Structure 1
Protein backbone atom coordinates (compact mmCIF):
# COMPACT_ATOMS: atom_id res chain seq x y z
CA UNK A 1 0.00 0.00 0.00
CA UNK A 2 1.38 3.41 -0.97
CA UNK A 3 2.48 5.81 1.74
CA UNK A 4 0.27 8.30 -0.06
CA UNK A 5 -2.83 6.15 0.44
CA UNK A 6 -5.65 7.30 2.66
CA UNK A 7 -5.09 4.56 5.25
CA UNK A 8 -1.46 5.61 5.64
CA UNK A 9 -2.48 9.28 5.77
CA UNK A 10 -5.04 8.60 8.48
CA UNK A 11 -2.38 6.86 10.54
CA UNK A 12 -0.41 10.10 10.88
CA UNK A 13 -1.65 13.40 12.30
CA UNK A 14 0.37 15.41 9.80
CA UNK A 15 -1.85 17.85 7.90
CA UNK A 16 -3.28 16.62 4.58
CA UNK A 17 -4.94 19.00 2.13
CA UNK A 18 -7.68 18.22 -0.35
CA UNK A 19 -10.49 19.62 -2.43
CA UNK A 20 -14.23 18.96 -2.66
CA UNK A 21 -15.60 17.92 -6.08
CA UNK A 22 -19.33 18.44 -6.52
CA UNK A 23 -19.64 19.54 -10.14
CA UNK A 24 -16.65 19.01 -12.44
CA UNK A 25 -16.01 15.30 -12.95
CA UNK A 26 -14.02 15.97 -16.10
CA UNK A 27 -11.23 13.71 -17.46
CA UNK A 28 -8.51 16.17 -16.46
CA UNK A 29 -9.73 16.86 -12.92
CA UNK A 30 -7.35 14.43 -11.23
CA UNK A 31 -4.24 15.85 -12.87
CA UNK A 32 -5.42 19.42 -12.27
CA UNK A 33 -5.85 18.81 -8.52
CA UNK A 34 -2.61 16.84 -8.30
CA UNK A 35 -0.71 19.64 -10.04
CA UNK A 36 -2.29 22.13 -7.61
CA UNK A 37 -0.77 20.19 -4.70
CA UNK A 38 -3.75 18.28 -3.34
CA UNK A 39 -3.13 15.19 -1.21
CA UNK A 40 -6.66 13.82 -1.55
CA UNK A 41 -10.06 14.47 -3.10
CA UNK A 42 -13.51 14.39 -1.52
CA UNK A 43 -15.95 13.31 -4.24
CA UNK A 44 -19.56 14.00 -3.31
CA UNK A 45 -22.63 11.89 -4.02
CA UNK A 46 -24.82 13.32 -1.27
CA UNK A 47 -25.56 16.72 -2.81
CA UNK A 48 -23.92 16.68 -6.25
CA UNK A 49 -26.33 14.55 -8.24
CA UNK A 50 -23.47 12.32 -9.42
CA UNK A 51 -24.38 8.68 -9.95
CA UNK A 52 -22.23 5.58 -9.82
CA UNK A 53 -21.53 5.58 -13.55
CA UNK A 54 -19.85 8.94 -13.00
CA UNK A 55 -18.02 7.64 -9.92
CA UNK A 56 -16.61 4.71 -11.90
CA UNK A 57 -15.19 7.03 -14.56
CA UNK A 58 -14.00 9.75 -12.21
CA UNK A 59 -12.11 7.31 -10.01
CA UNK A 60 -10.08 6.24 -13.03
CA UNK A 61 -9.16 9.92 -13.63
CA UNK A 62 -7.92 10.22 -10.06
CA UNK A 63 -6.07 6.90 -10.24
CA UNK A 64 -4.24 8.17 -13.33
CA UNK A 65 -3.05 11.15 -11.28
CA UNK A 66 -2.19 8.96 -8.24
CA UNK A 67 -4.58 10.97 -6.09
CA UNK A 68 -6.51 9.15 -3.32
CA UNK A 69 -10.27 9.66 -3.24
CA UNK A 70 -12.87 9.73 -0.49
CA UNK A 71 -16.33 9.06 -1.93
CA UNK A 72 -19.15 10.49 0.16
CA UNK A 73 -22.00 8.03 -0.27
CA UNK A 74 -25.56 9.37 -0.44
CA UNK A 75 -26.81 7.18 2.41
CA UNK A 76 -25.87 4.43 4.83
CA UNK A 77 -27.64 1.80 2.71
CA UNK A 78 -25.57 -1.31 1.92
CA UNK A 79 -25.77 -0.90 -1.85
CA UNK A 80 -24.46 2.67 -1.71
CA UNK A 81 -21.50 1.79 0.51
CA UNK A 82 -20.48 -1.51 -1.07
CA UNK A 83 -20.94 -0.17 -4.59
CA UNK A 84 -18.62 2.77 -3.86
CA UNK A 85 -16.00 0.27 -2.69
CA UNK A 86 -16.56 -1.95 -5.74
CA UNK A 87 -16.06 1.06 -8.03
CA UNK A 88 -12.64 1.57 -6.42
CA UNK A 89 -13.23 4.13 -3.66
CA UNK A 90 -10.26 3.97 -1.32
CA UNK A 91 -12.08 6.04 1.27
CA UNK A 92 -15.79 6.13 2.05
CA UNK A 93 -17.48 8.94 3.96
CA UNK A 94 -20.94 8.57 5.44
CA UNK A 95 -23.14 11.46 6.52
CA UNK A 96 -24.71 11.81 9.97
CA UNK A 97 -23.15 8.81 11.70
CA UNK A 98 -24.62 8.82 15.19
CA UNK A 99 -22.85 6.04 17.08
CA UNK A 100 -20.93 2.79 17.22
CA UNK A 101 -23.87 0.69 16.00
CA UNK A 102 -24.12 2.67 12.77
CA UNK A 103 -20.35 2.67 12.35
CA UNK A 104 -20.33 -1.12 12.72
CA UNK A 105 -23.02 -1.42 10.04
CA UNK A 106 -20.92 0.72 7.68
CA UNK A 107 -17.82 -1.38 8.31
CA UNK A 108 -19.81 -4.53 7.59
CA UNK A 109 -20.75 -3.05 4.22
CA UNK A 110 -17.18 -1.97 3.42
CA UNK A 111 -15.10 -4.92 4.60
CA UNK A 112 -14.81 -8.49 3.39
CA UNK A 113 -14.85 -11.42 5.80
CA UNK A 114 -13.56 -11.78 8.49
CA UNK A 115 -13.73 -8.01 9.10
CA UNK A 116 -17.19 -7.46 7.61
CA UNK A 117 -20.01 -8.81 5.49
CA UNK A 118 -19.42 -7.17 2.11
CA UNK A 119 -20.59 -9.16 -0.89
CA UNK A 120 -17.72 -10.57 -2.93
CA UNK A 121 -16.77 -8.96 -6.24
CA UNK A 122 -13.23 -9.65 -7.42
CA UNK A 123 -11.20 -8.75 -10.51
CA UNK A 124 -13.31 -5.64 -11.00
CA UNK A 125 -12.60 -1.92 -10.54
CA UNK A 126 -11.54 -1.96 -6.88
CA UNK A 127 -8.67 -4.41 -7.47
CA UNK A 128 -7.88 -2.91 -10.88
CA UNK A 129 -9.21 -5.97 -12.68
CA UNK A 130 -6.26 -8.13 -11.61
CA UNK A 131 -6.59 -11.85 -10.87
CA UNK A 132 -5.28 -13.33 -7.64
CA UNK A 133 -5.92 -15.55 -4.64
CA UNK A 134 -9.20 -14.84 -2.87
CA UNK A 135 -7.63 -14.64 0.59
CA UNK A 136 -5.05 -12.16 -0.64
CA UNK A 137 -7.77 -10.06 -2.28
CA UNK A 138 -9.81 -9.92 0.91
CA UNK A 139 -6.80 -8.94 2.99
CA UNK A 140 -5.71 -6.20 0.57
CA UNK A 141 -9.19 -4.71 0.23
CA UNK A 142 -9.73 -4.66 4.00
CA UNK A 143 -6.36 -3.02 4.57
CA UNK A 144 -7.04 -0.37 1.91
CA UNK A 145 -10.60 0.77 2.61
CA UNK A 146 -10.68 3.79 4.92
CA UNK A 147 -13.74 4.97 6.85
CA UNK A 148 -14.60 8.63 7.45
CA UNK A 149 -17.57 9.07 9.80
CA UNK A 150 -19.25 12.45 9.56
CA UNK A 151 -20.19 13.98 12.89
CA UNK A 152 -23.20 16.13 12.01
CA UNK A 153 -25.59 15.64 14.92
CA UNK A 154 -25.65 16.22 18.66
CA UNK A 155 -25.94 12.44 19.07
CA UNK A 156 -22.82 11.92 16.98
CA UNK A 157 -20.91 14.32 19.23
CA UNK A 158 -22.15 12.50 22.32
CA UNK A 159 -20.94 9.19 20.90
CA UNK A 160 -17.72 10.48 19.32
CA UNK A 161 -15.50 8.67 21.82
CA UNK A 162 -17.08 5.27 21.24
CA UNK A 163 -16.74 5.68 17.47
CA UNK A 164 -13.13 6.88 17.63
CA UNK A 165 -12.34 3.86 19.78
CA UNK A 166 -13.47 1.40 17.11
CA UNK A 167 -11.06 -0.54 14.93
CA UNK A 168 -11.82 0.35 11.33
CA UNK A 169 -12.98 3.92 11.99
CA UNK A 170 -10.11 6.01 10.64
CA UNK A 171 -11.36 9.59 10.85
CA UNK A 172 -14.14 11.63 12.44
CA UNK A 173 -15.12 14.35 10.00
CA UNK A 174 -17.09 17.32 11.31
CA UNK A 175 -19.99 18.39 9.10
CA UNK A 176 -20.12 21.89 10.52
CA UNK A 177 -23.30 23.24 8.97
CA UNK A 178 -25.48 20.23 9.78
CA UNK A 179 -23.94 19.98 13.24
CA UNK A 180 -24.80 23.61 13.97
CA UNK A 181 -28.38 22.94 12.84
CA UNK A 182 -28.62 19.85 15.05
CA UNK A 183 -27.37 21.90 18.00
CA UNK A 184 -30.08 24.52 17.35
CA UNK A 185 -27.63 27.26 16.35
CA UNK A 186 -27.59 27.24 12.51
CA UNK A 187 -24.41 28.78 11.13
CA UNK A 188 -23.20 30.01 14.53
CA UNK A 189 -19.72 28.53 14.44
CA UNK A 190 -18.42 30.79 17.22
CA UNK A 191 -21.24 29.84 19.58
CA UNK A 192 -19.91 28.25 22.81
CA UNK A 193 -22.24 25.30 22.26
CA UNK A 194 -20.68 24.60 18.86
CA UNK A 195 -17.13 25.10 20.13
CA UNK A 196 -17.77 22.69 23.00
CA UNK A 197 -18.97 20.08 20.50
CA UNK A 198 -15.77 20.48 18.49
CA UNK A 199 -13.74 20.10 21.69
CA UNK A 200 -15.53 16.81 22.38
CA UNK A 201 -14.90 15.38 18.92
CA UNK A 202 -11.28 16.58 18.83
CA UNK A 203 -10.57 15.09 22.26
CA UNK A 204 -12.01 11.74 21.13
CA UNK A 205 -9.79 11.55 18.06
CA UNK A 206 -6.69 12.64 19.99
CA UNK A 207 -7.37 10.09 22.72
CA UNK A 208 -7.67 7.18 20.30
CA UNK A 209 -5.12 8.28 17.70
CA UNK A 210 -7.63 8.86 14.92
CA UNK A 211 -7.71 11.59 12.29
CA UNK A 212 -9.94 14.66 12.38
CA UNK A 213 -11.33 16.27 9.24
CA UNK A 214 -13.40 19.18 7.96
CA UNK A 215 -14.26 21.18 4.89
CA UNK A 216 -13.01 24.76 5.18
CA UNK A 217 -14.15 27.82 3.19
CA UNK A 218 -10.83 29.66 3.31
CA UNK A 219 -7.17 29.38 4.23
CA UNK A 220 -7.52 31.24 7.52
CA UNK A 221 -10.15 28.80 8.83
CA UNK A 222 -8.01 25.81 7.86
CA UNK A 223 -4.98 27.17 9.70
CA UNK A 224 -7.05 27.97 12.80
CA UNK A 225 -8.65 24.51 12.90
CA UNK A 226 -5.26 22.84 12.54
CA UNK A 227 -3.57 24.86 15.27
CA UNK A 228 -6.47 24.97 17.74
CA UNK A 229 -7.90 21.45 17.52
CA UNK A 230 -5.46 19.43 15.45
CA UNK A 231 -7.60 18.95 12.34
CA UNK A 232 -5.38 17.06 9.91
CA UNK A 233 -7.67 16.21 6.95
CA UNK A 234 -8.33 19.74 5.70
CA UNK A 235 -10.49 19.96 2.60
CA UNK A 236 -10.20 23.38 1.03
CA UNK A 237 -13.46 24.60 -0.51
CA UNK A 238 -15.12 23.03 -3.54
CA UNK A 239 -14.78 23.19 -7.30
CA UNK A 240 -17.92 25.33 -7.79
CA UNK A 241 -16.95 27.96 -5.22
CA UNK A 242 -13.28 28.19 -6.20
CA UNK A 243 -14.19 28.79 -9.83
CA UNK A 244 -17.00 31.20 -8.97
CA UNK A 245 -14.96 33.28 -6.53
CA UNK A 246 -11.84 33.50 -8.69
CA UNK A 247 -13.88 34.39 -11.78
CA UNK A 248 -16.02 36.92 -9.92
CA UNK A 249 -12.93 38.65 -8.53
CA UNK A 250 -11.26 38.81 -11.93
CA UNK A 251 -14.34 40.00 -13.82
CA UNK A 252 -15.08 42.65 -11.18
CA UNK A 253 -11.53 44.00 -11.47
CA UNK A 254 -11.64 43.90 -15.26
CA UNK A 255 -14.96 45.73 -15.31
CA UNK A 256 -13.66 48.41 -12.95
CA UNK A 257 -10.35 48.76 -14.78
CA UNK A 258 -11.84 48.93 -18.24
CA UNK A 259 -14.70 51.26 -17.34
CA UNK A 260 -14.74 54.34 -19.47
CA UNK A 261 -11.83 53.20 -21.63
CA UNK A 262 -12.17 54.12 -25.28
CA UNK A 263 -10.50 52.77 -28.36
Structure 2
Protein backbone atom coordinates (compact mmCIF):
# COMPACT_ATOMS: atom_id res chain seq x y z
CA UNK A 1 0.00 0.00 0.00
CA UNK A 2 1.38 3.39 -0.98
CA UNK A 3 1.83 5.74 1.95
CA UNK A 4 -0.48 8.54 0.82
CA UNK A 5 0.43 10.75 3.79
CA UNK A 6 4.13 10.66 2.96
CA UNK A 7 3.35 11.29 -0.70
CA UNK A 8 1.15 14.29 0.13
CA UNK A 9 3.75 15.78 2.48
CA UNK A 10 6.52 15.41 -0.07
CA UNK A 11 4.28 17.07 -2.67
CA UNK A 12 3.79 20.09 -0.44
CA UNK A 13 0.26 19.22 0.72
CA UNK A 14 -1.10 19.39 4.26
CA UNK A 15 -2.44 16.41 6.21
CA UNK A 16 -4.60 16.18 9.32
CA UNK A 17 -4.81 13.26 11.71
CA UNK A 18 -5.70 12.21 15.24
CA UNK A 19 -3.58 11.00 18.16
CA UNK A 20 -5.08 8.02 19.96
CA UNK A 21 -3.73 6.52 23.17
CA UNK A 22 -6.60 4.18 24.02
CA UNK A 23 -7.46 0.79 22.59
CA UNK A 24 -10.56 1.58 20.54
CA UNK A 25 -10.64 0.05 17.02
CA UNK A 26 -14.19 1.32 16.46
CA UNK A 27 -13.09 4.87 17.27
CA UNK A 28 -10.35 4.56 14.66
CA UNK A 29 -13.00 3.53 12.15
CA UNK A 30 -15.05 6.61 13.05
CA UNK A 31 -11.99 8.81 12.58
CA UNK A 32 -11.48 7.33 9.14
CA UNK A 33 -15.12 7.77 8.16
CA UNK A 34 -14.79 11.44 9.12
CA UNK A 35 -12.14 11.91 6.45
CA UNK A 36 -8.89 12.33 8.38
CA UNK A 37 -5.62 11.41 6.67
CA UNK A 38 -3.88 9.46 9.42
CA UNK A 39 -4.08 8.19 12.97
CA UNK A 40 -1.16 8.22 15.39
CA UNK A 41 -1.30 5.15 17.62
CA UNK A 42 0.47 6.43 20.72
CA UNK A 43 2.70 3.69 22.09
CA UNK A 44 4.81 6.23 23.99
CA UNK A 45 2.03 7.12 26.43
CA UNK A 46 -0.69 4.61 25.56
CA UNK A 47 -1.14 1.17 27.14
CA UNK A 48 -1.04 -1.31 24.27
CA UNK A 49 0.16 -4.83 23.67
CA UNK A 50 1.78 -5.59 20.31
CA UNK A 51 -1.31 -7.56 19.31
CA UNK A 52 -3.56 -4.62 20.14
CA UNK A 53 -1.40 -2.31 18.04
CA UNK A 54 -1.74 -4.73 15.15
CA UNK A 55 -5.53 -4.66 15.50
CA UNK A 56 -5.53 -0.85 15.56
CA UNK A 57 -3.44 -0.83 12.38
CA UNK A 58 -5.99 -3.17 10.77
CA UNK A 59 -8.82 -0.85 11.78
CA UNK A 60 -7.00 2.12 10.25
CA UNK A 61 -6.42 0.36 6.95
CA UNK A 62 -10.06 -0.69 6.82
CA UNK A 63 -11.12 2.97 6.54
CA UNK A 64 -8.17 4.21 4.44
CA UNK A 65 -6.37 5.89 7.33
CA UNK A 66 -2.58 5.81 7.26
CA UNK A 67 -1.44 4.17 10.51
CA UNK A 68 1.45 5.99 12.20
CA UNK A 69 2.88 4.75 15.49
CA UNK A 70 4.50 6.99 18.06
CA UNK A 71 6.94 4.43 19.36
CA UNK A 72 8.07 3.78 22.91
CA UNK A 73 11.63 3.97 24.23
CA UNK A 74 12.15 0.22 23.92
CA UNK A 75 14.96 -0.59 21.51
CA UNK A 76 12.72 -2.96 19.51
CA UNK A 77 9.75 -0.57 19.34
CA UNK A 78 10.47 0.67 15.80
CA UNK A 79 10.95 -2.88 14.52
CA UNK A 80 7.73 -4.05 16.18
CA UNK A 81 5.72 -1.10 14.87
CA UNK A 82 6.81 -1.55 11.27
CA UNK A 83 6.39 -5.33 11.37
CA UNK A 84 2.80 -4.82 12.57
CA UNK A 85 2.14 -2.78 9.43
CA UNK A 86 2.66 0.85 10.47
CA UNK A 87 3.34 3.15 7.52
CA UNK A 88 5.20 5.65 9.63
CA UNK A 89 6.82 6.24 12.99
CA UNK A 90 7.09 9.20 15.31
CA UNK A 91 10.14 8.87 17.53
CA UNK A 92 10.23 10.87 20.78
CA UNK A 93 13.26 12.54 22.36
CA UNK A 94 15.58 12.68 19.35
CA UNK A 95 18.16 15.15 20.57
CA UNK A 96 21.23 14.75 18.37
CA UNK A 97 22.30 13.84 14.86
CA UNK A 98 23.47 10.51 16.24
CA UNK A 99 20.01 9.84 17.70
CA UNK A 100 18.48 10.53 14.28
CA UNK A 101 20.95 8.24 12.55
CA UNK A 102 20.03 5.45 14.97
CA UNK A 103 16.33 5.95 14.14
CA UNK A 104 17.02 5.50 10.42
CA UNK A 105 19.15 2.43 11.12
CA UNK A 106 16.28 0.82 13.00
CA UNK A 107 13.62 1.80 10.46
CA UNK A 108 15.25 0.86 7.14
CA UNK A 109 16.65 -2.34 5.73
CA UNK A 110 20.30 -2.78 4.72
CA UNK A 111 22.18 -1.09 3.18
CA UNK A 112 20.23 2.03 4.28
CA UNK A 113 19.79 0.76 7.82
CA UNK A 114 19.83 -2.31 10.02
CA UNK A 115 16.17 -3.26 10.34
CA UNK A 116 15.75 -6.97 10.85
CA UNK A 117 14.33 -8.82 7.86
CA UNK A 118 11.37 -11.20 8.05
CA UNK A 119 8.59 -12.22 5.68
CA UNK A 120 6.26 -14.14 8.00
CA UNK A 121 4.90 -10.87 9.40
CA UNK A 122 1.84 -8.78 8.71
CA UNK A 123 3.81 -6.04 6.93
CA UNK A 124 4.86 -8.62 4.32
CA UNK A 125 1.38 -10.16 4.15
CA UNK A 126 2.61 -13.14 6.16
CA UNK A 127 4.98 -14.29 3.46
CA UNK A 128 3.02 -13.26 0.36
CA UNK A 129 5.54 -10.44 -0.19
CA UNK A 130 9.28 -10.78 -0.15
CA UNK A 131 12.58 -10.22 -1.86
CA UNK A 132 14.12 -7.00 -3.05
CA UNK A 133 10.82 -5.44 -4.13
CA UNK A 134 9.41 -5.77 -0.61
CA UNK A 135 12.49 -4.25 1.01
CA UNK A 136 12.59 -1.35 -1.45
CA UNK A 137 8.89 -0.60 -1.11
CA UNK A 138 9.04 -0.73 2.69
CA UNK A 139 12.00 1.66 2.79
CA UNK A 140 10.39 4.05 0.33
CA UNK A 141 6.99 4.14 2.03
CA UNK A 142 7.92 4.47 5.69
CA UNK A 143 7.47 8.00 7.05
CA UNK A 144 10.18 8.76 9.59
CA UNK A 145 9.33 11.60 11.93
CA UNK A 146 11.52 12.68 14.85
CA UNK A 147 10.36 14.69 17.85
CA UNK A 148 12.01 17.99 18.70
CA UNK A 149 11.12 18.51 22.34
CA UNK A 150 14.21 19.52 24.33
CA UNK A 151 16.57 22.52 24.27
CA UNK A 152 19.30 20.15 23.05
CA UNK A 153 17.15 19.05 20.10
CA UNK A 154 16.37 22.69 19.29
CA UNK A 155 20.08 23.52 19.24
CA UNK A 156 20.77 20.52 16.97
CA UNK A 157 17.66 20.95 14.81
CA UNK A 158 19.35 21.47 11.45
CA UNK A 159 21.90 18.71 12.07
CA UNK A 160 19.11 16.29 12.99
CA UNK A 161 17.15 17.15 9.87
CA UNK A 162 20.24 16.74 7.67
CA UNK A 163 20.30 12.98 8.32
CA UNK A 164 19.32 11.06 5.17
CA UNK A 165 16.04 9.23 5.74
CA UNK A 166 14.55 11.71 8.21
CA UNK A 167 11.39 12.97 6.55
CA UNK A 168 9.89 15.33 9.10
CA UNK A 169 10.32 16.96 12.50
CA UNK A 170 7.48 16.98 14.99
CA UNK A 171 7.37 19.76 17.59
CA UNK A 172 6.50 18.30 20.96
CA UNK A 173 5.42 21.57 22.54
CA UNK A 174 4.37 20.16 25.91
CA UNK A 175 7.62 18.28 26.49
CA UNK A 176 9.56 21.27 25.17
CA UNK A 177 7.95 23.60 27.71
CA UNK A 178 8.61 21.14 30.55
CA UNK A 179 12.21 20.63 29.49
CA UNK A 180 12.70 24.38 29.25
CA UNK A 181 11.53 24.70 32.86
CA UNK A 182 8.06 26.13 32.26
CA UNK A 183 5.91 23.45 33.85
CA UNK A 184 3.31 25.87 35.18
CA UNK A 185 2.89 28.05 32.10
CA UNK A 186 3.29 25.26 29.57
CA UNK A 187 3.64 25.72 25.83
CA UNK A 188 1.98 29.16 25.94
CA UNK A 189 4.92 30.69 27.79
CA UNK A 190 6.38 33.48 25.62
CA UNK A 191 9.84 31.94 25.60
CA UNK A 192 8.50 28.57 24.45
CA UNK A 193 6.46 30.29 21.76
CA UNK A 194 9.56 32.17 20.62
CA UNK A 195 11.51 28.92 20.26
CA UNK A 196 8.64 27.32 18.34
CA UNK A 197 8.41 30.34 16.04
CA UNK A 198 12.16 30.19 15.42
CA UNK A 199 11.93 26.50 14.50
CA UNK A 200 9.13 27.20 12.04
CA UNK A 201 11.14 30.01 10.48
CA UNK A 202 14.17 27.77 10.01
CA UNK A 203 12.01 24.98 8.61
CA UNK A 204 10.23 27.31 6.19
CA UNK A 205 13.50 28.87 5.06
CA UNK A 206 15.26 25.53 4.55
CA UNK A 207 12.28 23.70 3.07
CA UNK A 208 12.11 21.24 5.97
CA UNK A 209 8.90 19.37 6.74
CA UNK A 210 7.47 20.06 10.16
CA UNK A 211 4.49 18.79 12.13
CA UNK A 212 2.78 19.61 15.40
CA UNK A 213 -0.07 18.76 17.72
CA UNK A 214 -3.33 20.63 18.32
CA UNK A 215 -6.21 20.26 20.74
CA UNK A 216 -8.87 21.75 18.46
CA UNK A 217 -9.61 23.25 15.05
CA UNK A 218 -8.23 26.71 15.83
CA UNK A 219 -4.96 25.17 17.02
CA UNK A 220 -4.72 23.11 13.85
CA UNK A 221 -5.35 26.15 11.64
CA UNK A 222 -2.69 28.14 13.52
CA UNK A 223 -0.17 25.33 13.02
CA UNK A 224 -0.84 25.14 9.30
CA UNK A 225 -0.59 28.91 8.98
CA UNK A 226 2.81 28.87 10.69
CA UNK A 227 4.08 26.34 8.16
CA UNK A 228 3.23 22.87 9.44
CA UNK A 229 2.33 20.26 6.87
CA UNK A 230 1.21 17.64 9.40
CA UNK A 231 -1.09 18.25 12.37
CA UNK A 232 -2.26 15.64 14.85
CA UNK A 233 -5.37 16.42 16.90
CA UNK A 234 -5.42 14.92 20.40
CA UNK A 235 -8.39 12.58 20.23
CA UNK A 236 -9.06 12.44 23.97
CA UNK A 237 -9.23 16.26 24.10
CA UNK A 238 -11.86 16.29 21.36
CA UNK A 239 -13.95 13.65 23.14
CA UNK A 240 -13.56 15.22 26.59
CA UNK A 241 -14.42 18.69 25.29
CA UNK A 242 -17.48 17.34 23.50
CA UNK A 243 -18.72 15.69 26.71
CA UNK A 244 -18.08 18.91 28.68
CA UNK A 245 -19.93 21.01 26.13
CA UNK A 246 -22.89 18.62 26.06
CA UNK A 247 -23.35 18.46 29.80
CA UNK A 248 -22.84 22.21 30.28
CA UNK A 249 -25.40 23.06 27.61
CA UNK A 250 -27.87 20.53 28.99
CA UNK A 251 -27.54 21.80 32.56
CA UNK A 252 -27.92 25.40 31.39
CA UNK A 253 -31.13 24.58 29.50
CA UNK A 254 -32.57 22.59 32.42
CA UNK A 255 -31.72 25.31 34.96
CA UNK A 256 -33.16 28.04 32.75
TM-score under structure 2 normalisation? 0.92
Structure 1 unaligned blocks of 5 or more = none
Q: Secondary structure at the residue paired with 1:184?
A: coil
Partner of 1:115: 112
- Per-residue CA distance 1:7-38 (angstroms, 9 max, x = gap): 21331332211111112422x23331122121
Matches within 5 A, 1:126-165: 126-165=123-162
Range moving further from structure 2, 47-56 or 194-203: 194-203
The CA deviation at 1:78 is 2.9
Q: 2:251 aligns with which of 241, 251, 255?
A: 255
Q: Secondary structure at the residue paired with 2:187?
A: coil
Q: 1:220 to 1:144 in 2, by over 3 A?
A: same
Structure 2 unaligned blocks of 5 or more = none
The CA distance in 2 between the partners of 1:195 and 1:248, in whole Å, is 28
The CA distance in 1 between the partners of 2:97 and 2:110, in whole Å, is 19
The CA distance in 1 between the partners of 2:130 and 2:188, in whole Å, is 53
Partner of 2:11: 12
Instruction: Count residues in correspondence.
Output: 255
Q: 1:243 to 1:92 in 2, by over 3 A?
A: same
Partner of 1:243: 239
Q: Secondary structure at the residue paired with 1:42?
A: strand
RMSD: 1.9
For the Cα contact (< 8 Å) 1:11–1:210, is it kept in 2? no
Matches within 5 A, 1:207-218: 207-218=205-216
Matches within 5 A, 1:52-91: 52-75=50-73, 77-91=74-88
The structure in which a higher percent of residues are helix is 2
The CA distance in 1 between the partners of 2:20 and 2:108, in whole Å, is 25
The CA distance in 1 between the partners of 2:147 and 2:227, in whole Å, is 17
For the Cα contact (< 8 Å) 1:171–1:211, is it kept in 2? yes
The CA deviation at 1:190 is 4.0
